[in-house]
Amino acid sequence: MSQESTLQKIKNMRISCPHCGHHLHLSLDTSGGDQDYYEECPSCCNDIHLNMHIDEYHQKIQLAIDSDDEQVF
Ligand SMILES: [Zn+2]
């Protein structure tokens, strides 16, 4: 007897762009652990810095969004 895994590894999140406030949908692959990456806003074309942390103990996903504005010289 085989059991297919029905665990949702892809989480759909809705975020808003820190630059322009545009809402966008993200598909987060939680199977690979923590992720730190950039997504380009389709509205204003600025980079959005995303930091996903998976809290396995509490079975929660923490998503930090920032614009990285301070690092622009
Ligand atoms: Zn934007």
pLDDT digits (tens, 9 = 90+) for 13-69: 999 999 999 999 999 888 888 999 999 999 999 999 999 999 888 888 899 999 977
Distance 67 CA to ligand 1 centre (A): 10
Kind and range of the H or E run holding 5:
none
Distance 44 CA to ligand 1 centre (A): 4
Task: Note the pTM of the prediction, 2 decimals.
Answer: 0.74
25-48 in b/e burial notation, b at 16+ Cβ within 10 A?
Answer: eeebebeeeeeeeeeebeeeebeb
Structure tokens that stand for 51 in this block: 């930091």
Structure tokens that stand for 15 in this block: 């975020």
